[in-house]
Chains A and B, each alone.
Chain A
Amino acid sequence: MSTVESLPDDERLGLLQGTLEVLILRSLKLESNHAYGISQFLQQQSDCEFLVDNGSLYPALQRLLQRKWIAGQWKTSPNGRRARYYSLTLAGRKELLRATSKWQRFAVAMAKILAPEG
């Protein structure tokens, strides 16, 4: 986990309410993954800006399972460990599309307001 140590924990960004779930969906867009893999993916993709706390990750996974946006299946990982792999369901893909456009608009609007006046 050398990459994780590149920034001290308290300088990284906390996740906004509701963002973690859409990030999880995004991480599963191309391939199924287990919880540890998801947290690594999110840290790497955000250049370690996001701190993904297991205390938030697991409840979020449970919520997504409940909404049937993801499904879980036990498989053996490449290094021979049994792990629960999550994959997007059809409803999950639809939700990802919807949420992506929403968060993009949100980010653009935030940036417009916060940008220094030119």
Chain B
Amino acid sequence: MRRLWSKVERTLGNRRNLANELEQELDAHLQFLIDENLEQGMSFEEANTVARREFGNMTVVQERSYQSWQFPRLESLLQDIRYALRGIVKAPAFSLIVILTLAVGIGANTAIFSTIYAVLLKPLPYPAGERLVWLGESNAKASGISVTWINFEHWRAENHSFEAMAGFQNTDLTLTGRGQATLTHAGLVTNQFFQLTGSRPMIGRLFIASDDKPQSPATAVVTESFWARMLSADPQIIGKTITLDGSAYVIVGVLGRDPGFFPRPVDYYLPLRPTAAQAAKREAHGKMRALALLKPGVTLAGARSDLNTILERLAKADPGPEDDHRAYAEFLTDERTGGVRHVFALLMASVCLVWHARTSAVCC
């Protein structure tokens, strides 16, 4: 920055030298003409007047010579700045009002825009977040209701539209055996959830396919903050157990960075497994929704009809009360912000209008 400034100064310095030199040069030229006129016997005054007339318009000559150095734009900018500063100093009260008005306007715009950026525009913090899709079921009465375990299993195994699919839901469990009993927040997920959210373990491992099986031992992946807060940041934590609602879970890993997927922060993740009823009956709903990653080039509509085809096939093979259920699929970004988008658009528009009004008021 300083180097840049000194460069500007040097350039302007050269510019001043240039102007100075040119002025001297023109002066010398004029003297030659005057000398010549004097030689012809004119009076000094007459010689001077005639020489100036002969020379032509000195200002024009100067301006044109400057222009050949391509600086005048910068020069006029500097002049504008000087003029503005002089104006500010001359009318300080008015200037203060104008500056405050503009400051408040800019502040309001910035505040609203920051919020809009955070809520609407900031990309999801997941690899290929723009292809992540939120899946549920829909019927005549409601859309986005939970996916049943059997439907989810068929979707995951038979679809042609997604690279990966994971079920998720959250729940609260009571942690005992480590000081006072505490209510904790659990994220229940099937194993591909971590792949979809780009999560990595800091210690140990994350869930693998075998963790999804009901007969496998109960396992848990804890977040770093829970590990530090409740497990004393024990580096030997892998293989130890925590007791949640009276059942023991073996800790297999500590997350490096929590994906922050659930609206309410969770303390740990447990494998999402079906209850006996959910594993047996196709219409047994729980609280599970699914997260899936669209293959590149597949449209949302294409994915919906892909999943619907699977549901229709199931309805034929295993008729039940929910044969009219269809797949609900929205991009995760839209699902998260759908409700507030219009509100924010309106807010931004109004702030811009106010800004415009302020600016015009100040300029006129």
Contact = CB atoms under 8 A, between A and B. Distances in A.
Contact of A84 (B28, B64, B65): B28
B69 A81 contact: no
Given A35-B25, A59-B65, A54 B32 contact: no
A72 B24 CA distance: 13
Interface string A39-70: 00000000000000111101101110010000
Interface stretch (B50-58, B101-109, B247-255): B50-58
A98 interface: no
Main secondary structure of the interface of B (DSSP, over half): helix
Contacts of B62: 58
B300 interface: no
Given A62-B68, A62-B69, A84-B21, A54 B29 contact: yes
Given A36-B33, A58-B61, A84-B28, A66 B56 contact: no
Contact of A81 (B31, B37, B40): B31
Interface residues of A, number: 23
Interface in B64-108: 64-65, 67-69
B33 A1 contact: yes
B238 to A, nearest CB: 74
A54 B61 contact: yes
Main secondary structure of the interface of A (DSSP, over half): helix
A82 B24 CA distance: 9
B28 A82 contact: yes
Interface residues of B, number: 26
B27 to A, nearest CB: 9
A53 B56 contact: yes
A79 interface: yes
Nearest to B62: A58
Contacts of B157: none
Q: Which of A2, A58, A61, A66 has the most CB of B within 10 A?
A: A58
A83 interface: yes
A81 B25 contact: no
A91 to B, nearest CB: 18
A34 interface: yes
Given A58-B61, A63-B68, A1 B25 contact: no
A55 B32 contact: no
Interface string A79-93: 101111000000000
A116 B24 CA distance: 50
B68 A55 contact: no
Nearest to B70: A66
A81 B68 contact: no
Contacts of A34: 25, 28-29, 32
Interface string B215-253: 000000000000000000000000000000000000000
B22 A54 contact: no
B153 interface: no
Contact of A54 (B37, B56, B69): B56
A35 B40 CA distance: 22
B130 interface: no
B22 A83 contact: no
B29 A35 contact: yes
Given A34-B29, A59-B61, A59-B65, 14 more contacts: A2-B40, A35-B29, A36-B29, A36-B33, A53-B56, A55-B57, A55-B61, A55-B64, A58-B25, A59-B64, A72-B21, A81-B35, A83-B29, A84-B28
16 contacts: A36-B28, A36-B32, A54-B61, A55-B61, A56-B64, A58-B64, A59-B61, A59-B65, A61-B65, A62-B68, A63-B68, A79-B35, A81-B31, A83-B25, A84-B25, A84-B28
